[in-house]
């Protein structure tokens, strides 16, 4: 088993004085998973003597934390016991490490999101409860001189798009393209997603995604999975979209994956299957949120069908079902926030989904070129860990214009059949 040698571990604080006080968190922040989101960025070796040097990375991180000062704080509680961010300026955990087991090429050939890779490339994190730190970073140098930048950011304070904005800002400062001013100013006003006053509070939808499933999820099987990264070429993506006329790339890819997952699981045609997704509401709200909103602005959505409907119909039909799960607008989001005002967010389902279901998330909006710290764009960026079986990310494939990476986790006994079916469908697209 590969091992990593930790060389240093310290706190990096903002380069200048930053505001103190607390930041209120919205119902969407509290309804998300209470934990850290680990991701990794892989970088090719570089002969520059300053390539990911400890001093330069700490300096640029400290300057990025001036604008993103809440990250240097701690998760806290207000007087009523509600979770908030305490802006203390205590800093983020910064670790340097060395792994002589892998070259970058070897690591990329072997890497899939899993517990072993997370433990190797991302710093260990504490229990995600107050008063915990909010960001942990690790720079790991490989045998060939390549570098992995691993990070774990607390999900209660920000979603994937907000986290990407921070790393794009840090990268911009590192490569000398900014003096500390973010490309997009962050907005920490989470009251923009507060529930409406009691007199006008309106719950128009059922919001089943925030209620326990009728079929209990086995926590042991939910955390036992096999994961895979499958690349779709631009030609395959284009051919699939042509079969799903009018569907977005994400919806077309998820539709095909959903069909193949249902087949691989050999589910009865009469069984119900639910496709869950996460929808970024920043631009969909009326009025829209600021582009730099730094918080959780995504909502869980879903659509249900029978397995027979999903697998026996053309893929365009499954794509239309996916559209139904991802087309919610402002009123749906406001209804959800009002609904969450009346429930105990600590008791919301977070442990996994039943075996018949799938959860799909788009990371296609994350620009790899913006994560260039001065030595080129990452060779790969993705999740370091999958949370449970039945999770799918759709991302842009690095260095391949128009290609996509499908990252997914399934039950270990299901994955071989899924890979076989998905590969067959991709081959058919090229006929």
Structure tokens at 41: 């960025």
218 has pLDDT over 70: no
What is the predicted pLDDT for the residue at 353?
A: 83
Poorest-confidence range of 111-125, 126-140, 338-352?
Answer: 338-352
Report angle CA 370, 373, 378 to the nearest 5 degrees.
Answer: 65
pTM to 2 decimals? 0.94
Q: Which long-range contacts (CB under 8 A, 24 or more apart) does 105-113 make?
A: 105/144, 107/42, 107/142, 107/146, 107/148, 108/42, 108/379, 108/380, 111/40, 111/42, 111/229, 111/380, 112/227, 112/228, 112/229, 113/227, 113/229, 113/382, 113/383, 113/384, 113/385, 113/386, 113/407, 113/409
- As a whole number of angstroms, the distance between CA 25 and CA 254 comes to 31
What is the predicted pLDDT for the residue at 179?
A: 61
Per-residue pLDDT tens for 227-275?
A: 999 999 999 999 999 999 889 999 999 999 999 999 999 999 999 999 9
- Please provide the CATH number assigned to the domain covering 218-429: 3.30.559.10
Structure tokens at 178: 């900014």
φ/ψ (deg, to 5) at 21: 120, -160
378 has pLDDT over 80: yes
pLDDT average, residue stretch 157-183: 86
215 has pLDDT over 70: no
State the fold for domain 5-193: Chloramphenicol Acetyltransferase (3.30.559)
What is the predicted pLDDT for the residue at 402?
A: 85
pLDDT average, residue stretch 191-210: 92
217 has pLDDT over 70: no
What is the band of 67 on the pLDDT scale with cuts at 50, 70, 90?
very high
| Average pLDDT along the chain | 92
355 has pLDDT over 60: yes
Report angle CA 317, 323, 324 to the nearest 5 degrees.
Answer: 95
Cβ–Cβ under 8 Å, residues 232 and 400: no
Structure tokens at 114: 């899993």
- As a whole number of angstroms, the distance between CA 115 and CA 224 comes to 10
Q: What is the residue whose two structure tokens read 């433990």? A: 119
Q: Where are the domains of the chain?
A: 5-193, 218-429
Per-residue pLDDT tens for 4-37?
A: 999 999 999 999 999 999 999 999 999 988 899 9
What is the predicted pLDDT for the residue at 34?
A: 86
Name the percent of the chain lying above pLDDT 70. Answer: 95
User: CA torsion angle for 316, 400, 45, 115 (degrees, to 10)?
Assistant: 10
What is the predicted pLDDT for the residue at 2?
A: 84
Burial 51-64 (b: 16+ CB within 10 A, else e): bbeeeebbebbbbb
What is the predicted pLDDT for the residue at 346?
A: 80
pLDDT average, residue stretch 91-117: 96
Q: Phi-psi category of 58—alpha, beta or left, where left has phi over 0 and alpha has psi -120 to 50?
A: alpha
Neighbours of 231 (CB within 10 A): 13
Count the alpha carbons within 13 Å of 61 in the hemisphere toward its beta carbon: 25
What is the predicted pLDDT for the residue at 370?
A: 83
Catalytic residue set: 155, 372
What is the band of 224 on the pLDDT scale with cuts at 50, 70, 90?
confident
Evaluate the CA torsion angle 192, 194, 196, 198 in order and state its sign.
Answer: negative
**Closest among 225, 209, 206 to 355, alpha carbons compared:** 225
What is the predicted pLDDT for the residue at 219?
A: 60
Report angle CA 231, 232, 235 to the nearest 5 degrees.
Answer: 150
What is the predicted pLDDT for the residue at 48?
A: 92
Poorest-confidence range of 35-39, 216-220, 273-277, 299-303?
Answer: 216-220
In CATH terms, are 5-193 and 218-429 the same topology? yes
Question: Cα separations (Å) of 55 from 95, 147, 354?
Answer: 12, 15, 47
Residue 354 or 295, more confident: 295
220 has pLDDT over 60: no
Q: What is the residue whose two structure tokens read 């053309």? A: 314
Structure tokens at 425: 């469908």
- As a whole number of angstroms, the distance between CA 336 and CA 204 comes to 8
Burial of 191 (0-12, 13-18, 19+ CB in 10 A): exposed
Cβ–Cβ under 8 Å, residues 197 and 333: no
Neighbours of 203 (CB within 10 A): 15
What is the band of 292 on the pLDDT scale with cuts at 50, 70, 90?
very high
pLDDT average, residue stretch 310-320: 94
């Amino acid at each position: 088993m590969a091992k990593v040698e930790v060389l240093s571990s310290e706190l990096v604080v903002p380069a200048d004085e930053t505001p103190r006080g607390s930041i209120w968190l919205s119902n969407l922040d509290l309804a998300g998973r209470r934990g850290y989101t680990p991701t990794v960025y892989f970088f090719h070796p570089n002969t520059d003597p300053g390539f990911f040097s400890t001093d330069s990375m700490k300096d640029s991180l400290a300057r990025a934390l001036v604008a993103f000062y809440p990250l240097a704080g701690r998760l806290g509680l207000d007087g009523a016991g509600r979770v908030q961010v305490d802006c203390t300026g205590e800093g983020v955990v910064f670790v340097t490490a060395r792994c002589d087991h892998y070259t970058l090429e070897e690591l990329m050939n072997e890497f899939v999101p899993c517990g072993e890779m997370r433990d190797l490339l991302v710093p260990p994190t504490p229990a995600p409860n107050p008063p915990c730190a909010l960001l942990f970073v690790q720079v790991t140098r490989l045998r060939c001189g390549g570098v992995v930048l691993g990070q774990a950011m607390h999900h209660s304070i920000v979603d994937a798009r907000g986290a990407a904005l921070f790393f794009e800002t840090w990268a911009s400062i590192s490569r000398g393209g900014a003096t500390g001013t973010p490309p997009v100013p962050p907005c920490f006003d989470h009251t923009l997603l507060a529930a409406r006053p009691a007199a006008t509070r309106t719950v128009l939808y059922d919001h089943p995604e925030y209620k326990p499933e009728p079929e209990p999820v086995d926590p042991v099987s939910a955390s036992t999975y096999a994961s895979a990264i499958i690349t779709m070429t631009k030609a395959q993506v284009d051919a699939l979209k042509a079969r799903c006329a009018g569907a977005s790339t994400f919806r077309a890819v998820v539709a095909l994956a959903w069909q193949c997952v249902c087949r691989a699981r050999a589910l009865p045609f009469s069984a119900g299957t639910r496709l869950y997704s996460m929808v970024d509401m920043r631009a969909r709200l009326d009025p829209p949120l600021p582009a730099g909103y730094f918080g959780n602005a995504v909502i869980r959505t879903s659509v249900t069908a029978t397995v027979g409907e999903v697998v026996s119909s053309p893929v365009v039909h499954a794509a239309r079902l996916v559209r139904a799960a991802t087309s919610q607008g402002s009123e749906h989001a406001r209804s959800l926030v009002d609904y969450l005002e009346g429930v105990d967010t600590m008791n919301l389902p977070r442990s996994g989904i039943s075996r018949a279901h799938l959860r799909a998330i788009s990371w296609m909006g994350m620009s790899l070129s913006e994560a260039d710290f001065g030595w080129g764009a990452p060779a790969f960026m993705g999740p370091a860990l999958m949370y449970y079986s039945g999770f799918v990310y759709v991302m842009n494939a690095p260095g391949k214009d128009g290609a996509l990476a499908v990252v997914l986790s399934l039950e270990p006994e299901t994955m071989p059949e899924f890979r076989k079916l998905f590969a067959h469908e991709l081959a058919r697209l090229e006929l």
